[in-house]
Amino acid sequence: MDVQKRNFIIIMFTNFLVAGSTTMIMPFLSLYIESLGDFSDEYVQRWAGLVFGVTFVAALFMSPIWGRIADRFGYKPILIINGFGIAFSIYLMGTADSVQELFMIRLFMGVVTGFIPTSLAFVSTQTPKETAGKTLGTLQMGSVSGTLFGPVIGGLMADSFGFDYTFIITAVVIGIAASLVAIGIKETKKVSNKDAHVYAPKTIIQGILHHRLLINVMIITSLIQVGNFSIQPLLSLYVAELTVDSSQVAFLAGVTFSAAGVGNLLFARRWGRLGDSIGYEKVLGFLLLLSFLFIVPQAFVTDLWQLILLRLLFGIAVGGMIPTTTALMRREAPVEIQGEIMGYNTSFRFLGNIVGPVFGGIVSGFIGISSVFIVTGVLFVLAFVFLKYTLAQPDQDFEDVLLEQEMKSM
């Protein structure tokens, strides 16, 4: 087996472990907050959004730094640091005695969050541009499979023997994933090109801001994450409203959470392959409209099975967005700075992860959880408008934009 294929298999498997383990705690995060004291529903909803979103505050600022380090020293060290850091942080979550302490642990976790986005960037740099969509879509099947099984397993464990042991098991599994990367990954070092241009961080930022496609796709990436994450911390509470047997809420929330993962798993590779054939921009625009059509009706369900079905259809649409936007970054960015460009794209994703849960918590606190689905649908339409506006503008070469910005700085 060649090194590239072995690396891909290991990354795909570790993505499965990390995604599955981290999503184990998602269905009961709001229930865990509820167990830390005698709180009102409004208090739990707001803190669920804050605790969920705060992890990405530090990650927002760290991602470009990790990306620049990866361009210089390789992705493997970053993956190892992220893996063990996440494992330690999740272990600490199980020891929290208050909501505020849990909040601070999640903030610390943000410094090392980014295992899956970093692994996407790692595989992307080893993949030809012509097949980036298909390869990244296939890779996403690993993380999606974990997302599929993680919530169900986590819900069952939480119902069976409590939150504390679930946190410990989660930390151990992620530690195993980090160990597999440390032992099994063989990263091919980039051959340094003496004639390769070295861009300053300021020049790269200015280049992104003046390249219409890159900056708009990054904004769209953020809007996608806002729409996707606005409801996730509140999903268990919404399921509780639709469920008669309160003893099974954590498990049923896990099933509902996983329904989107099933659709994602079934179609991620197909969306990526379609993007390789007809263009990533066309596929992304179609998926944004499809997401709108499937998320708004979730506000009007009367039975749990209806919500699960709509989450499945929503997952089919969302499944192609991350590999499509990542493949766009891979196509546009020079290989010497791909890590840093991917880092900035990840920062925009994390920005959406920050805003989404907080936004969802605020909206649900004032006008109810069901209204979050409607507002989320509007965000997907807004992202589609951003994309159509960008595609109507003249094409730009990113390296030309970088050189132009560099000349202006002299």
pLDDT tens for residues 311-325? 999 988 887 887 888
Which pLDDT score is estimated for 191? 57
52: pLDDT strictly greater than 80: no
Residue 309: pLDDT band by 50, 70, 90 thresholds?
very high
Cα 364–Cα 244–Cα 369 angle in degrees, nearest 5: 5
Which pLDDT score is estimated for 182? 92
Query: What share of the chain has pLDDT > 70, as a percent?
Result: 94
Give me the residue spans of the domains in the chain.
3-186+199-409
Which pLDDT score is estimated for 190? 59
SS3 130: helix
Structure confidence by residue, pLDDT tens digits, 166-206? 888 889 989 999 999 999 888 776 555 555 667 787 888 88
Burial class, 264, CB count within 10 angstroms (exposed 0-12 / middle 13-18 / buried 19+): buried
Residue of 277, 273, 395, 398 lying closest to 335 (CA atoms):
398
CA-to-CA distance for 35 and 356, rounded, in angstroms? 24
Is the model more confident about 23 or about 186? 186
SS3 37: coil
Structure confidence by residue, pLDDT tens digits, 68-91? 788 778 888 889 998 999 999 999
Least confident of 247-251, 268-272, 345-349: 247-251
Which pLDDT score is estimated for 27? 66
CA-to-CA distance for 380 and 226, rounded, in angstroms? 9
Six token digits for residue 17? 């472990």
Burial class, 38, CB count within 10 angstroms (exposed 0-12 / middle 13-18 / buried 19+): exposed
Which pLDDT score is estimated for 88? 93
Q: What is the mean pLDDT of the chain?
A: 82
Residue of 291, 129, 284 lying closest to 219 (CA atoms):
284
Q: Tell me the residue length of the chain.
A: 410
Least confident of 80-94, 260-274, 305-319: 260-274
Is the model more confident about 17 or about 154? 17
Residue of 310, 21, 336 lying closest to 170 (CA atoms):
21
Which pLDDT score is estimated for 35? 82
Six token digits for residue 215? 């900056």
The residue to which tokens 């659709």 are assigned: 263
The residue to which tokens 């989320």 are assigned: 376
Mean pLDDT of 40-68: 80
The verdict on pTM exceeding 0.85 is no
CATH number of 3-186+199-409, picked from 3.40.50.720, 2.115.10.20, 3.90.226.30, 1.20.1250.20: 1.20.1250.20
Interhelix angle 280-295/304-318, rounded to 10 degrees, is 170
CA-to-CA distance for 75 and 80, rounded, in angstroms? 9
289: pLDDT strictly greater than 90: yes
Query: What share of the chain has pLDDT > 90, as a percent?
Result: 11
Is the model more confident about 273 or about 285? 285
Residue of 336, 325, 326 lying closest to 399 (CA atoms):
336
The DSSP H or E segment spanning 310 is: helix 304-318
Which pLDDT score is estimated for 192? 52
Which pLDDT score is estimated for 326? 80
Is the model more confident about 82 or about 268? 82
CB atoms within 10 A of CB 114: 28
Residue of 362, 359, 120, 116 lying closest to 225 (CA atoms):
359
Which pLDDT score is estimated for 379? 86
